[in-house]
Structure 1
Amino acid sequence: MILYMGSYLLVAFGSIWAIRSVHTMYRFALAVAALAGVTTGFLAVQALDYAISGAALASIPIAAGLAAAAFYRIGARRAGSVALTVIVLAEAGIAGGYRLYISTGYVFAADLAFVALLYILQRASEHRARPQPEGASLSTVVKGAGAAKGAGAAKEAGQSKGALTGASKSGGVLTPAALALIAVAGAALLARFEPDDTGRIGQAASAVAAYDETNDLQTARVQVNAAGFNPRHIDFQPGVMMKLVIEVGDTAASDQVFESTSLGLKAPLHKGDNIFLVKNPKPGDFEFQVGGHTGTFTVLQSADPSENNG
């Protein structure tokens, strides 16, 4: 959890610092807001064990912080657009993070990507803010055209000025009302997400228990969270004691129960490692349940038929 909190603070303070830089422009502020939003949504849904509503709420403080920072640079209306951009892109980040199995590796990757992209945006903003050579300045060209005696040159300068003024007003971006509608539509789509056991990217479908020859023991570790089990299926060898370690993460729900009717086992789980031992397992397929999710394991057939019949 400390890693997730650190990542959240990195996004919050990094993006606010970028918005408050002397080179802040409207488009730059929106780009920073988009980056902060998608990173926040991704990190929050992973940190909160796929709790979509909580992940969406996590984007609000960052949206408010960026809006406050942008208010002094680009005005109230555009600051509102910055806040809405954070929320909209956070919903996209939530959708992406929801499809990935919880992993600290993804968190590190998201942190590195955020820092790298923020640096690129900052350098691009600095480059845009540098004074242009007088000969290449658009204002100089327009002024010179306006001073020209030819009617054609004056007309062309007027069109250029009008186009420049229109572009500065619209900014080439969505209005706050449009962003608000997109945010509402995104929230409605996220509300339809439902947990399932079909597997997520990075979630192993199956694994083989590791055999400890010294202790004549085969061990399998299974992680459990809102995505279900990782791996979802395990293969064991027959005739060797099984050690099944159910690992309940810090972000997983409390008061969960491990139950396997086929093995006659039922026991409450605590955070951390929960160990179950099965002596002399016979070949067959078995199921176990935790928190509404179902996992399976198979004790394979032995080369010795007498062991299969036990």
Structure 2
Amino acid sequence: MLLNTGGLVLILLITIYHIYFLVQRKNGLTGEGGMLLASLFALLAGLAAGVIGAQTFDLGLGLSILICALLSAVAGAALGFPFGRQSVINSILSGVIGGTVGTVLGSLFFTSGRIVLSGVVLFILCAFLVQKIGDVWNSKPRPKTKKANTTKKAAGKPNYTSTILLAAVTIIVVGGLLLQYDRIAVGSIGQPLSQTAVFDEENDMQVATIEVSEAGITPKTTEFIAAKMIKAIVDVKASAGTGLTLVSKDLNFNTELKEGENILLLSNPQPGTYEIEIPAKNYKGTFIVKPAEKTNNINNP
């Protein structure tokens, strides 16, 4: 959790620095160059914050996208402010795109410190690269133009092509997400598929923790040995919702689940394969009980 929090704080600090960076170089950049840099910074910040936020907070995909998109839009507005109204609009749209895509990408991966660390490192590298590009553009001498031509250009209509393109991309991203929302496999990448229970010698029982979240039952399969009491800790995350019941027709239990840890005790389990499910969410998992004489994989803590 410390890594996740530190990553979010680092993204915030780097974004604030880039706002300062753009303000300081406002006069040395062209309007188009400044708008492009602001939009790139907003996109990168939104992507990184989305990935790390999805890995950190158990809010559910929909709410996570909404919060990250709004925060990224605020950051985009601040980044685009030095270069005028169109730059603000472009940066807000870029931030929304980045926040939305980043949150979805972060949600696809099962919670892992490696994902958070990779997101932070990539953000730092990409932000540094964009900053260096800005320094190069800022150091280039701006061509001198006649006052008359400058006045004429300033009086002309602004070119909103980039804004229209960004708006179209935003509509496609958000619209596509809404259409495919139910098909997004939250936490499917890197999710552990099986585990073996740990033997607690002090209490003479085998213990396994099963997580229930928006990604379903994780891991799907848990292995035990026969004739030793089972203590299954069912950890229900907020994203899973409420009013859930864990059912197993094979093991003959029907247990209501609350948010947090729920303890399930099974005495004298017999060899076999037993299905467990949460009917309200169509989540399914499996308990495999192996004969004691054929299993030597229970790990001592």
TM-score by length of 1: 0.74
Equivalent residue, structure 2, for 1:294:
284
- Conserved 8 A contact 2:217-2:285: yes
CA gap of 1:90–1:77, structure 2 versus 1, over 3 A, is same
- Cα offset for 1:226? 0.4
Task: Indicate whether 1:277 and 2:287 are aligned.
Answer: no
SS of residue paired to 1:101: coil
CA gap of 1:65–1:212, structure 2 versus 1, over 3 A, is closer
CA gap of 1:12–1:66, structure 2 versus 1, over 3 A, is farther
Residue deviations 1:4-55 (CA, integer Å, cap 9, x gap): 6665554345324313321362322122011012123323444244423541
Aligned counterpart in structure 2 of residue 70 of structure 1, from 70, 80, 98 = 80
Equivalent residue, structure 2, for 1:164:
none
- Cα offset for 1:230? 1.8
- Cα offset for 1:303? 4.5
Aligned counterpart in structure 1 of residue 69 of structure 2, from 54, 59, 77 = 59
Rg bigger for which structure? 1
1:264 and 1:80 map into 2 onto residues whose CA distance is 59
Task: Indicate whether 1:20 and 2:20 are aligned.
Answer: yes
- Conserved 8 A contact 1:199-1:205: no
Q: Which moved more, 1:227-236 or 1:173-182?
A: 173-182
1:83 and 1:183 map into 2 onto residues whose CA distance is 10
CA gap of 1:175–1:300, structure 2 versus 1, over 3 A, is same
CA gap of 1:196–1:207, structure 2 versus 1, over 3 A, is farther
How is 1:1-310 mapped onto 2 (pairs within 5 angstroms)? 7-8=7-8, 10-21=10-21, 22-23=24-25, 25-46=34-55, 47-71=57-81, 73-130=82-139, 139=143, 175-191=162-178, 192-194=180-182, 200-249=188-237, 252-290=240-278, 292=281, 293-301=283-291, 303=293
Q: CA RMSD in A?
A: 3.2
- Cα offset for 1:277? 1.4
Residue deviations 1:139-192 (CA, integer Å, cap 9, x gap): 49x99xxxxxxxxxxxxxxxxxxxxxxxxx87xx96111211211111122112
- Cα offset for 1:287? 1.8
CA gap of 1:256–1:37, structure 2 versus 1, over 3 A, is same
- Cα offset for 1:229? 1.9
Structure 2 unmatched runs, 5+ = 27-33, 147-157, 295-301
2:266 and 2:97 map into 1 onto residues whose CA distance is 50
CA gap of 1:26–1:252, structure 2 versus 1, over 3 A, is same
Identity of matched residues, %: 24
Residue deviations 1:242-293 (CA, integer Å, cap 9, x gap): 1111122355434433222322222233333222111111111112223511
- Cα offset for 1:216? 3.2
CA gap of 1:250–1:14, structure 2 versus 1, over 3 A, is farther
Q: Which moved more, 1:290-299 or 1:48-57?
A: 48-57
- Cα offset for 1:299? 0.9
SS of residue paired to 1:267: strand
1:229 and 1:39 map into 2 onto residues whose CA distance is 27
1:89 and 1:197 map into 2 onto residues whose CA distance is 20
1:13 and 1:197 map into 2 onto residues whose CA distance is 32
1:289 and 1:196 map into 2 onto residues whose CA distance is 20
1:112 and 1:257 map into 2 onto residues whose CA distance is 41
1:121 and 1:178 map into 2 onto residues whose CA distance is 21
- Cα offset for 1:195? 5.7
- Conserved 8 A contact 1:221-1:244: yes
- Conserved 8 A contact 1:203-1:231: yes
